Structure 1
Amino acid sequence: MKHSALPFFAGHHRQERLGARTVFSPLPVMTNVPPVRRTDWLTRKHSHYIELGGAGGSLFQTQILYSFWVLGLLLFASAFWGPPGSGLSDGQGWAGVWAGHYQEVWIGPNQWVMEFSWMNFLGTVLLLGMGPGFALFITIKMLWEHQQQLRRVLPFRFHRQRREVMLSRWDKRTRRTEVRIFPWEDMCAMVGEGSAVSVSGVMTMASLFFGINSDERPGYFWSGMNVGTLSKEVGAGEWEMIRRYMEEGPEAIDEPAPVTFDGMIEEFCRERKIPRCAFSPLRRLWWELNGTRFGILRINIQSRLQQRFAERYFAAHPEQAAWSEPLPPEQWAKPSERLTRCNQLLAEQYAQGRTIFTVGDVRELLGEVITAEEEQVLAP
């Protein structure tokens, strides 16, 4: 299957006002970036294929939702209790709220009675219920949509012996899961890093994207995966993990680790090359308070849901399950001459201390012509 070319290539770097983007593939070349050994979205590893997907990214999303609820609870407590004379309960708890539903009504000269006000009651219900109700709606909506996505889309499978990738997507028109197989060297990957400026400072965010071009809509992606990452360098290391598995073998990466609290601490220490004893008690306390345990629980639940869907799907589609089987060595696919030549040229560049972030568009190394239309699209 021939795919329409996308307007970027490995090594292309685009700098924008508040962000930057670096392309790693098409043509998955060496990056000269230290690879990570595993990630939370590496869900399965075999000698001939790996699966990427699961609930990667759910941890950060869960922490955001958790913070949203905690902040709402603090605001509610502040408005509910408050100091006497200003809080909704006048400092008396629910008894004070209930007492506030009564108001004095004049019935004659110097004659007042306390009557229950349904308007005050309705106002209290709306005031107390609007915030939690909105928060509950947003939380349920996000959890439901993510769960539905995991029930509809298979983890991406990278088959190193075939040098092919199995991707899937949910077709809204036919309401079914669509699965296709693409060449590994056609896979697109890039890392983007952006900054958000506010009165309190600058916040930097990064994400790694990999996917495949669409034949039906040239210039668009047929399917892809976007995962948040700490920085563009970490994103490059995560892509390099995939590339090394495909090019060097299963020894290049570690087994997927169960997502546990202790496991995350060990992963944190290993990425920063510090001993476990150097993990700060204050950081552990912050992890305990910021919803990390809820995120871990959610990741494990949602990962099991997707695995169950994958098992049912492949049981119903044996021809695609057969694609995942190992091949005898004589049938293993080989890297293209173009990729081999490009890596040889890059090795000379990397020997001078460069990386994929500084080497430039690798088509220039290969002596390939970049059309005027492509230069116009790629120009920042």
Structure 2
Amino acid sequence: MTDNNENALDLKQQPPCAGEVRHFATGQALFLAPLPLPTGSPAMDLGGSFIEVNETYIDVGQSNFNKAFQVQLVVWGLMCVLISCLIILPLIVLSGVFFDPHQRPFMTHVMSALDMLAFSSVVALLGGGFAAILGGTAVIRTTLQKAQTRPIRFNRQRREVCFFLERSDEPIICPWEEVAAWVSTSTGTTGEAIMSTYTFGIAFPEAATGLTHVFNQGVMTPIHGLSKWEAIRVYMEKGPEFCPGTAPYEGLHTFDEKRQSVHENYRDGYTSAISVPWWYLCNIVTWWRFPYWVAEWDHRYSMKAMPDSITAWSQTLPAEQWAKPSAELLAQSAAIEKAFANGQSFPDYFSQANKQPHQTHNEHVNSP
């Protein structure tokens, strides 16, 4: 979470509007809101950010997806050190007993083997300990970092968004139609090649202080950011049945599901006979269920509870008390959906300067 893009995009001095393309030093950003208009992109949760989806709200944060794999990599590195030092090196030395071209005395080989075993044990202790501390620190650090920030909660019945600053228990609530969102492309050089990075950003205005708080998330491609925003938007405007469901989390149940899947794929002829013993060997080396136990701990620990005020704010409301979309949003949404039906894209629609709804929106957003 950073304000760097906010400064580059000048969100405070020049409030953006949907469809606007804004340039900054290293690239450009396409704004998707405000107002939150249809983008024409498929609604997808690429990356597993939707940690809760129900009739009242959607929580967008970080799931523990791939946490078990992260632990497995750490354990695999540790085991490679231990196996190399305690098994492979001693075997190489012991092989000299049987393949010694100089025919040295047997006790000479024994003493060499003992020396090598002592040396490899020290290396295994130091190297394994270093690998375990380094990898374990990385695993724990990512969990602690995730636990410091609560998810962003979008309440579709109130048409409001709840946002927490990092390490803060004070909620910031702003109207849904005032939230800004964009996908940006930045280009830089490594000295040998030109690299492009993509960012999905959301900005939350705080009426009490006049500040704008920015959430930035790196994405693999612009479509990842567009699809995530469209999934949030379609949830807020149409309901959970039009939005991807809750992202699955990893735990001990994931291990059982994978083991069952391996057996089913072999039974149905999708994999070879070697796949089953290979799966067991890989998981034995990476300490069987341990990585999935860590993933389950990560899920429990990092799911920070909401304050009582937000729990009350998140309660389901009677249908007659639901907030309604603005007339401007309804009119512009109908206009852009008509343009989509005629083959126009989101950028094409806004590139038409004679589109009166867009002009009206610009005047509305930029008015003091």
Residue 337 of structure 1 is matched in structure 2 by 327
Q: Which moved more, 1:356-365 or 1:233-242?
A: 356-365
- Structure 1 residue 225 displacement after superposition: 5.9
Residue 4 (structure 2) aligns with: none
Q: Which residue of 2 aligns with 1:136?
A: 132
| CA pair 38-278 structure 1, distance change in 2 beyond 3 A | farther
Q: Does residue 189 of structure 2 align to residue 188 of structure 1?
A: no
Q: Per residue, is there more strand in 1 or in 2?
A: 1
Distance change (3 Å), C-alpha of 1:90 and 1:281: closer
Structure 1 length as normaliser, TM-score? 0.60
Map 1:298-313 → 2, pairs under 5 A: 298-307=294-303, 309-310=304-305, 313=306
Cα drift, residue 332 of structure 1:
2.0
Higher mean displacement: 249-258 or 28-37: 249-258
Summarize deviations over 1:14-44 as a string: whole Å, max 9, x none: 7899987543223211011121279733222
Aligned match of 2:6 = none
SS in 2 for 1:92: helix
Structure 1 residues 74 and 262, CA, compared in 2 at 3 Å: closer, same or farther? Answer: closer
| Counterparts of 1:166 and 1:264, CA distance in 2 | 35
The residue number in structure 1 matching 2:235 is: 245
* Equivalent residues of 2:12, 2:212 under 8 A apart: no
User: In structure 1, what is the Cα distance between the partners aligned to 2:163 and 2:177?
Assistant: 14
Give the structure 1 partner of residue 318 of structure 2: 328
Alignment CA distance shift 1:215-1:124 (3 Å): farther
Shift of 1:164: 0.3
Residue 28 (structure 1) aligned to one of 8, 32, 36: 36
Secondary structure of the residue that 2:204 maps to in structure 1? strand
The code of the aligned residue for 1:177 comes to: D
Question: 1:33 is matched by which residue type in structure 2?
Answer: S
Does 2:59 align with 1:59? no
**1:33-73 CA-partner distances (Å, limit 9, x unpaired):** 121279733222221212222x43x4356645644664675
- Which structure carries more helix by proportion? 2
Q: Is the 8 A contact 1:206 1:228 kept in 2?
A: yes
- Paired with 1:19 and 1:125, the residues of 2 have a C-alpha distance of 53
Greater shift, 239-248 or 181-190, is seen at 181-190
The equivalent residue for 2:162 is: 166
CA contact (8 A) 1:150 1:302 kept: no
Give matches, 1:1-380, under 5 Å.
4=12, 8-13=16-21, 21-36=29-44, 40-53=48-61, 55-56=62-63, 58-60=64-66, 63=69, 66-67=72-73, 70=76, 74=80, 91-92=92-93, 128=124, 131-171=127-167, 176-192=168-184, 208-213=200-205, 222=213, 224=215, 226=217, 228=219, 231-256=221-246, 258-259=248-249, 261=254, 281=271, 298-307=294-303, 309-310=304-305, 313-314=306-307, 317=308, 319-356=309-346, 358-360=348-350, 365=355, 366-367=358-359
Code of the aligned partner of 1:332: W
Count of residues paired in the alignment = 316
Q: Is the 8 A contact 2:155 2:236 kept in 1?
A: yes
The separation in 2 between residues aligned to 1:263 and 1:370, in whole angstroms, is 54
CA, structure 1 residues 334+250, in 2 after alignment: closer, same or farther (shift >3 Å)? same
TM-score (ref. length: structure 2): 0.62
In structure 2, runs of 5+ residues without a counterpart are 1-10, 98-110, 259-266
Against the structure 1 CA distance between its residues 5 and 302, is the aligned structure 2 distance closer, same or farther, given a 3 Å change threshold?
Answer: farther
Q: CA deviation at 1:303?
A: 2.8
Shift of 1:90: 7.9
Secondary structure class of the residue paired with 2:93: coil
Structure 1: distance between partners of 2:269 and 2:43: 22
> 1:36 aligns to what SS in structure 2?
coil
Could you list the per-position Cα deviations for residues 201-243 of structure 1 after superposition, in whole angstroms to 9, with x for gaps in the alignment?
Answer: 999875544342567998x8625363655x3323322221111
- Identical columns (%): 23
Q: Which amino acid aligns with 1:239?
A: W
8 Å CA contact 1:81–1:89 kept in 2: the answer is yes
For the residues of structure 2 that align with 1:61 and 1:364, how far apart are their CA atoms?
50
Change (3 A) 1:255 1:81: closer
Q: Is the CA contact (8 Å cut-off) linking 2:162 and 2:173 kept in structure 1?
A: yes
Q: Per the alignment, in what secondary structure is the counterpart of residue 28 of structure 1?
A: coil
Measure how far apart 1:351 and its partner are.
2.5
Structure 1 match to 2:7 = none
